[in-house]
Amino acid sequence: MLVKRKEVNLLNYSIEKLSKILEEGNFSELAYILGSKKEIIKRNLIAGIFRGVGIGIGVTIITAILVMILQKIVTLNIPVIGEYISDIVEIVQKSK
């Protein structure tokens, strides 16, 4: 009886330790994803859409900031750089 109780306690300890390790490694989420192909497709599609929107917004903001900086450089009337930058600004404004 005492031997079985020790074995049960050891088994319970081992199970709890294994459970903790699996939780730390997000094994349950990984097993869920691997079990369902539809879930993988859905998650990747949503992630791709949000990445695309994020990249679009980011590029737009960075381009707008660069155009504003270039316009301010043109107002400084630096001979060589000013003409080159004014051409770039005109091309960007015509493409709008």
Contact assessment for residue 74 and residue 89, using Cβ atoms and an 8 Å cutoff: yes
Burial of 86 (0-12, 13-18, 19+ CB in 10 A): middle
Instruction: Tell me which residue range forms the domain holding 73.
Output: 37-96
Q: What is the pLDDT of residue 51?
A: 97
Give tens-digit pLDDT for 2-59. 667 888 888 888 888 888 887 777 776 777 667 778 888 888 899 999 999 999 999 9
Asked if residues 33 and 43 have their Cβ atoms less than 8 Å apart, the reply is yes
Are 31 and 41 in a shared domain?
Answer: no
User: Taking a C-beta distance cutoff of 8 angstroms, is the pair 48, 60 a contact?
Assistant: no
Domain count, the chain: 2
Residue 55 shares a structural domain with residue 90: yes
Judgement on whether residues 48 and 91 belong to the same structural domain of the protein = yes
pLDDT digits (tens, 9 = 90+) for 31-41: 766 777 888 88
3-16 residues labelled b (16+ CB within 10 A) or e (exposed): eeeeeeeeeeeeee
Tokens of 87: 């051409």
